[in-house]
Amino acid sequence: MKVGVVGLGYWGPNLIRNFLSNKEVEKVCGCDSNISRLKFIKSRFPMVELTEKWDELLNGYNLDIIVISTPVATHFPLAKASLENGKHIWVEKPFTFNSNEAMELIETAERKNLKLFVDHTFVYTGAVMKVKELVDKKVLGDILYFDSVRVNLGLFQHDVNVIWDLACHDFSIMDYIINKKVVGITANGIANYYEHENIAHIAVYFDDNCFAHFHVNWTSPVKIRRVLLGGRKKMLLWDDLHPAEKIKIYDSGVEVNSLDQIHNALVQYRTGDMYSPKVNETEALTLGVNEFIASINENRKPLTSGEDGLRIVKILESAEASIKNKGKFINVAV
Amino acid sequence: MKVGVVGLGYWGPNLIRNFLSNKEVEKVCGCDSNISRLKFIKSRFPMVELTEKWDELLNGYNLDIIVISTPVATHFPLAKASLENGKHIWVEKPFTFNSNEAMELIETAERKNLKLFVDHTFVYTGAVMKVKELVDKKVLGDILYFDSVRVNLGLFQHDVNVIWDLACHDFSIMDYIINKKVVGITANGIANYYEHENIAHIAVYFDDNCFAHFHVNWTSPVKIRRVLLGGRKKMLLWDDLHPAEKIKIYDSGVEVNSLDQIHNALVQYRTGDMYSPKVNETEALTLGVNEFIASINENRKPLTSGEDGLRIVKILESAEASIKNKGKFINVAV
Amino acid sequence: MKVGVVGLGYWGPNLIRNFLSNKEVEKVCGCDSNISRLKFIKSRFPMVELTEKWDELLNGYNLDIIVISTPVATHFPLAKASLENGKHIWVEKPFTFNSNEAMELIETAERKNLKLFVDHTFVYTGAVMKVKELVDKKVLGDILYFDSVRVNLGLFQHDVNVIWDLACHDFSIMDYIINKKVVGITANGIANYYEHENIAHIAVYFDDNCFAHFHVNWTSPVKIRRVLLGGRKKMLLWDDLHPAEKIKIYDSGVEVNSLDQIHNALVQYRTGDMYSPKVNETEALTLGVNEFIASINENRKPLTSGEDGLRIVKILESAEASIKNKGKFINVAV
Amino acid sequence: MKVGVVGLGYWGPNLIRNFLSNKEVEKVCGCDSNISRLKFIKSRFPMVELTEKWDELLNGYNLDIIVISTPVATHFPLAKASLENGKHIWVEKPFTFNSNEAMELIETAERKNLKLFVDHTFVYTGAVMKVKELVDKKVLGDILYFDSVRVNLGLFQHDVNVIWDLACHDFSIMDYIINKKVVGITANGIANYYEHENIAHIAVYFDDNCFAHFHVNWTSPVKIRRVLLGGRKKMLLWDDLHPAEKIKIYDSGVEVNSLDQIHNALVQYRTGDMYSPKVNETEALTLGVNEFIASINENRKPLTSGEDGLRIVKILESAEASIKNKGKFINVAV
């Protein structure tokens, strides 16, 4: 297959490297309007053909696949044009700026029988795959809550707030792991430096008394990436920055036989052993590229399809609506 | 002075021990309706006189001070009776069940010229005093946000949710450290086991673009007690569980000269040295007892007075109103 | 039983509290030449009879047991007199100043059919009991090495160096866990402040290619208490300062099928899951008191007997001889 | 300058990348007898000319510099030939297999007025440079001890034990930081898998009551890289694996006014604030390449010269002699 990558910023070299190393890819081309980025890419990947012009990428190399790694506002026109020209597409997260755009791209891909892959890259990490496996096997029991923290002294984005930049990752992780219906969202936060929020707290309500919360912050002096997952049987901690023990499963919980017991017992909780399974360390992007190409070869939807991207865009839209209205509860069904 | 303690549960022995060791206290009496608690207290403090009967404590020992360490619903009647009988009072947190009760107690104490101490015990810890000192000296610059996490596998309370139990501490810490006006509150959370919420997230909006957030959870497999405090000049991390380095001040921040810079610069943040000051390790309760007795001797308000307790009760009431309405924004002025 | 405790310094209150709470103990008496310590003990334990005079303790209360918690140089005369007067004895660690003293006490106790308990208190901790269980069940496979670190900014002892003070604990832990013959010892270190070493490194050679090392330091700015235990099948980390996960078992190791493989393979090691078992949190001293009293009632040797104390004294003597001779190898058979 | 690199194993690509990016280097060539390594290097650095033949590298490209990154046994012949052919040389650590080889290379380089750089790469890390600066400025006061731990589940080396592989790094760090004379060495350890030791503990005695200790282990389930540096005024912890706070300076210590004080005071130590300076994060190898090329241009010895390499080889030889004799004290003067 022949692959073209548009947008060669921070993530571009990783995309090029991973497509280059997939054995079904015979050629990778690149496109960016910034000449210095083209020079940088050339020095690292001399075999990649490069152009400044989008039209040339779209039409000039007989490509099968277009990878869109540009600012989110441009995802829709580039993706739409690619599909209309018969290309399978890979779109970086967040999928689109709004759900209408997402729905139109999904419809276009279906009409043209082309594959649409949304790069929810964390879904392909060993840690998330392991958590998914544990949840699906009911090791934790029914999930009661999902609590996520992703804070850092991080890059401000030009065009979007910290929800679209960071929480987007965590929404896609939650969406993959928890098989429950979201019914409402609230978001609170603050913009200390310019019009976009640098701190946000998003609460997600599910239809069966399950609850999720997301804390994202571009202005924390320390870096934390941690998810707590509470189940009726066991509880899980995923610390993505731990060098070796990323996932810990605690045989701990609250045990209630009757209401009366809660009201009277001095100690209602139970703590037991902890277990930390080894996690696959294959680079997530490698597995994502494999899945995308397999979905094309097998003529099926990829694991992170346009529909998955759409659900996350709906959550992002709702969070945005809420944070602009001081935490107003937004009904949403995804 | 002669001191009577009513309510000899978990916190009772600490109160008795600290009043006993204050050199201005000549006698300590105790009262609890639970005989087994009286026996336990007798075995540990043979010099303490004990009674099952509240009336006996109130009238029988010629006391100067009554310490109220009972469930929150009983604070008001016990405190009111104590004041009307001419006793100075120490009330455990949370001060009262609602702000009307709090206001009536404040008014009664003033009318009778008695001292009213609310045990916001964290205000007397070395860590909080150090943070207060740093904020007051403008070491951090203008405060942008206060972010608090207090989670654990903890005891469910019979009568109140996790906000009244745990967040009450953090509200009093915030109130002491940050000299800004609170204008609104939202709270989200869930009750997984009985009618009271075991997880809550509370957002507090100030009048000058400052923001605070509180995460409390009785059902976390790991124990975390951490506050992030972001300032325009520096940032602070308080990890109350660190054995030695409880407070860290980071010479880090986001630096913006113009809007344009944010939109174009690749890296807008600055990281520098970190500094961890030694923190006073005197037991907070010892210092609280000293302050209370000094306020009586000097005929002045204590550092944690009824007015301080009232502000926290207002915040608790607002958080309660919000969490029962899916995060509705509640206007509050404290 | 009636118990007398001689030496009421730092450890004295813990001994008194634990003997008092054992249901077979009807009376506890105490003795110290320091009047202020007697007053302190009286304030905390009003039911304990106290005396300044050793003879009075030895003869005056019709005691069954004498607990010796004085500086090590006085252990022998106090223990000897106690045994000769028909008392069972509990001796704090280190047992005696030299092995001759230890052997004489063992012989005397046997002759008089009295029980001699040496307070190797770590043997009774949940962590050590769990490690012992895992080693005995061959979970780790054959033990290859035992590596211990115990460093802190700690109290200098008047009369002994850091080996006798701190490494004594670790030797008793090693001796309990590892069923192998020690054949030689070397020790290196330095005395920076007075005649006794404040830093020491002790190497212990066993008869079957197993090796142990101990690092003790009174002058470290950070506190570390950690043991690594390497087995042919699995490896174990015991971090005694971790609040919850004191013991971790790693399914990791080095796998060698033939010599050739080591010389050629790029990666010879294997890493797998980690498992952290819950550890009994009962106070070690409580279990030690139980064991001592059970050994008297059942007329058998306690788990930490005079013979166990003697082996540790021999190791201490050898380490002392080596450190005074720049790490000279000392043959020892224990 | 034209640079040839011989030995393109694990470290080769880093050497090539850093020489390529130095602006005074116009050409980089490479040599390895392993064809698959040549192919790998070609794919990553298409501009590098490659050969299987050492003679071709030595004579065929008109090189100014030869970089020797082969197993230690081959360092001497390759280095000797390079110098005799008029090339400046960069030799990976450990410099040579014995001190005679090292001395001969130093003599040859001097005779031919060529520069000899030994790659003690840690000397060029931001952390070591910062520690050196603090020690030289007497921030810690007189150095009392240097305690180093470098353990991991690591690659066994074919030809040398863990001392030559890992402790070599730590010896060069100690040698750079501490300006004191080494007078003696002991080493203890064990070989559990083949003839070379996988665990070693090395003690180094200085001429003025300063002491160093090194713990290296290829068979630890956890990775630790930590140095404690004790001074009379302050103490320092360098944790090379901490993501942000690699160096911590503790205003802690032991304070002794008279011998009597040690013997009587209950607490002889002092703890104060902690300070963690920001550390330069430039890649050490980049700075090493800069220093080497500057030393050639300025016709002076580099910071890590043959003499520095020789001192480390002497320490390695002594440690080897000691470990083969159960910790025998080896006199050495470096």
Q: Which H, E and C letters describe A36-61, residue by residue?
A: HHHHHHHHHCCCCEEECCHHHHHHHC
Which residue has 């997600």 as its token pair?
Answer: A204
The CATH number given to whatever domain includes residue A164 is 3.30.360.10
Question: What is the distance between the alpha carbons of residues C64 and C293, in angstroms, rounded to a whole number?
Answer: 11
**ipTM, interface predicted TM-score of the complex:** 0.94
In one letter, which amino acid is D287?
L
Task: Tell me: do B165 and B244 sit in the same domain.
Answer: yes
DSSP secondary structure code for residue B166 in this structure: I
Task: Tell me: do C16 and C164 sit in the same domain.
Answer: no
Nearest chain B Cα distance for residue C243, angstroms = 9
**Would residue C309 count as lying in a domain?**
no
> pLDDT above 70 covers what percent of chain C?
96
> pLDDT above 90 covers what percent of chain D?
87
**Would residue D309 count as lying in a domain?**
no
Q: How confident is the model at residue A292 (pLDDT cuts 50, 70, 90)?
A: very high
**Would residue D307 count as lying in a domain?**
no
- Tens digit of pLDDT for each residue in A53-75? 999 999 999 999 999 999 999 99
> What DSSP letter does each residue of D266-288 carry, written as one string?
S--EE---EEE-----S-HHHHH
CB contact under 8 A, C211 and D199: yes
CB contact under 8 A, B186 and A262: no
pLDDT at B267: 44
- Tens digit of pLDDT for each residue in C162-176? 999 999 999 999 999
CB contact under 8 A, D245 and B278: no
DSSP secondary structure code for residue D141 in this structure: -
Nearest chain C Cα distance for residue B47, angstroms = 10
pLDDT at C267: 44
Of D16, D93, D18, D92, give the one whose Cα is nearest residue D47: D16
**Would residue A132 count as lying in a domain?**
yes
pLDDT at C269: 72
- Tens digit of pLDDT for each residue in D94-129? 999 999 999 999 999 999 999 999 999 999 999 999
- Start-end of H helices in A90-167: 99-111, 126-136, 162
Which residue has 């290196």 as its token pair?
Answer: C188
Task: Tell me: do C264 and C207 sit in the same domain.
Answer: yes
Task: Tell me: do D271 and D173 sit in the same domain.
Answer: yes
C neighbours by CB contacts (3+ pairs under 8 Å) = A, B, D
Q: Is the pLDDT score of D266 beyond 70?
A: no
The first and second tokens of residue D157, run together, are: 């080396």
Q: Calculate the CA D301 to chain-centre distance.
A: 17
Task: Tell me: do C91 and C212 sit in the same domain.
Answer: no
Q: What's the CA dihedral at B36, B40, B45, B47 to 10 degrees? A: 30
Which chain A residues have a beta carbon less than 8 Å from that of C272? Answer: 278
Task: Tell me: do B66 and B7 sit in the same domain.
Answer: yes
pLDDT at B253: 84
Task: Tell me: do C9 and C80 sit in the same domain.
Answer: yes
Q: Residue B227: helix, strand or coil by DSSP? A: strand
Determine the residue among D273, D279, D281 to mutate to test chain B binding: the one whose Cβ has the most chain B Cβ atoms within 10 Å: D273
- Tens digit of pLDDT for each residue in A230-252? 999 999 999 999 999 999 999 99
Angle in degrees, 0-180, between the axes of helices C126-136 and C168-177, rounded to the nearest 10: 30
- Apex CA C99: angle with CA C95 and CA C102, to 5°? 50
For chain B, 334 residues long, give each residue's pLDDT as a single digit of tens. 999 999 999 899 999 999 999 999 999 999 999 999 999 999 888 889 999 999 999 999 999 999 999 999 999 999 999 999 999 999 999 999 999 999 999 999 999 999 999 999 999 999 999 999 999 999 999 999 999 999 999 878 878 999 999 999 999 999 999 989 999 999 999 999 888 999 999 999 999 999 999 999 999 999 999 999 999 999 999 999 999 899 999 999 887 665 555 555 444 677 899 999 999 999 999 999 999 999 999 999 999 999 999 999 999 999 999 999 999 999 998 8
Question: What is the distance between the alpha carbons of residues B148 and B172, in angstroms, rounded to a whole number?
Answer: 12
> pLDDT above 70 covers what percent of chain A?
96
Q: Is B277 on the interface with D (CB under 8 A)?
A: yes
Q: Is the pLDDT score of D267 beyond 50?
A: no
Which among D221, D230, D256 has CB closest to C250?
D221
CB contact under 8 A, C223 and B241: no
CB contact under 8 A, A275 and C275: yes
**Would residue A308 count as lying in a domain?**
no
Higher pLDDT among residues A259 and D279, named by residue: D279
Q: Provide the b/e sequence for A92-131 (b: ≥16 CB within 10 Å).
A: bbbbbbebebbeebbebbeeeebbbbbbbbbbbbbbbbbb
What Å distances lie between residue D9 and A261, B130, C150, D32, D70, CA to CA?
65, 53, 39, 8, 8
> What DSSP letter does each residue of A162-228 carry, written as one string?
HIIIIIHHHHHHHHHH--S-EEEEEEEEE-SSSSS-SEEEEEEEETTS-EEEEEEESEEEEEEEEEE
The first and second tokens of residue B81, run together, are: 């009776």
The first and second tokens of residue A282, run together, are: 């294959």
CB contacts under 8 A, D 134-163 vs C, are 144-145, 147, 151, 153-156, 158
Task: Tell me: do C211 and C132 sit in the same domain.
Answer: yes
Q: Provide the b/e sequence for D184-202 (b: ≥16 CB within 10 Å).
A: bbbbbbbbbbeebbbbbbb
Q: How confident is the model at residue D264 (pLDDT cuts 50, 70, 90)?
A: low
Nearest chain A Cα distance for residue D243, angstroms = 9
**Would residue B66 count as lying in a domain?**
yes
- Start-end of H helices in C246-323: 259-264, 284-297, 306-323
B68 conformational bin, left if phi > 0, alpha if psi -120 to 50, beta if neither = beta
For range D155-164, the mean pLDDT: 88
Task: Tell me: do B183 and B323 sit in the same domain.
Answer: yes
The first and second tokens of residue D173, run together, are: 């760090």
- Tens digit of pLDDT for each residue in D170-183? 999 999 999 899 99
DSSP secondary structure code for residue D240 in this structure: T
**Would residue B308 count as lying in a domain?**
no
**Minimal Cα distance from C249: which residue of A?**
A275
CB-based burial label for C43 (10 Å; 0-12, 13-18, 19+): exposed
Question: What is the distance between the alpha carbons of residues D214 and D151, in angstroms, rounded to a whole number?
Answer: 10
Which chain A residues have a beta carbon less than 8 Å from that of C278? Answer: 251, 271-274
Question: What is the distance between the alpha carbons of residues B11 and A245, in angstroms, rounded to a whole number?
Answer: 37
Of C244, C311, C304, give the one whose Cα is nearest residue C124: C304
The CATH number given to whatever domain includes residue D67 is 3.40.50.720
Q: Which domain holds residue B69?
A: 2-120+284-302
The first and second tokens of residue D268, run together, are: 């002889």
Nearest chain D Cα distance for residue B249, angstroms = 10
Which among B244, B271, B273 has CB closest to D275?
B273
> What DSSP letter does each residue of B238-307 carry, written as one string?
EETT-SS--EEEE--EE--SSHHHHHH-S--EE---EEE-----S-HHHHHHHHHHHHHHTTS--SSBHH
- Tens digit of pLDDT for each residue in D202-227? 999 999 999 999 999 999 999 999 99
Task: Tell me: do C170 and C245 sit in the same domain.
Answer: yes
Please tell me the total count of domains within chain A.
Answer: 2
**Minimal Cα distance from D280: which residue of B?**
B272
Q: Is the pLDDT score of D269 beyond 60?
A: yes
**Residues forming beta bridges with residue B116, ordered by sequence position:** B89
For range C99-110, the mean pLDDT: 98
**Would residue D308 count as lying in a domain?**
no
Question: What is the distance between the alpha carbons of residues C30 and B310, in angstroms, rounded to a whole number?
Answer: 51
Which among B251, B273, B278 has CB closest to D273?
B278
Which among D272, D276, D277 has CB closest to B278?
D272
CB contacts under 8 A, B 220-249 vs A, are 220-222, 228, 230, 235-237, 248
pLDDT at A258: 58
Nearest chain A Cα distance for residue C132, angstroms = 17
CB contact under 8 A, C156 and D237: no
Task: Tell me: do D223 and D78 sit in the same domain.
Answer: no
Task: Tell me: do B137 and B237 sit in the same domain.
Answer: yes
DSSP secondary structure code for residue A72 in this structure: G
Q: Return phi, psi of residue C179, to 5°.
A: -95, 65
Say if residues A145 and A230 touch (Cβ distance below 8 Å): yes
> What DSSP letter does each residue of B27-50 carry, written as one string?
EEEEE-S-HHHHHHHHHH-TTSEE
pLDDT at A268: 61
Question: What is the distance between the alpha carbons of residues D238 and A7, in angstroms, rounded to a whole number?
Answer: 41
pLDDT at C264: 53
Which among C184, C188, C191 has CB closest to D203?
C188
Which chain B residues have a beta carbon less than 8 Å from that of C46? Answer: 46
Half-sphere CA count of D190, side-chain side, radius 13 A: 20
pLDDT at D156: 81
A16-25, A99-108, A261-270, D43-52 — which is least confidently predicted?
A: A261-270
Angle in degrees, 0-180, between the axes of helices D306-323 and D99-111, rounded to the nearest 10: 170
Which among B271, B272, B276 has CB closest to D274?
B276
For range C139-167, the mean pLDDT: 93
Which residue has 């450990």 as its token pair?
Answer: D94
Q: Is the pLDDT score of C112 beyond 90?
A: yes
Question: What is the distance between the alpha carbons of residues D160 and D165, in angstroms, rounded to a whole number?
Answer: 7
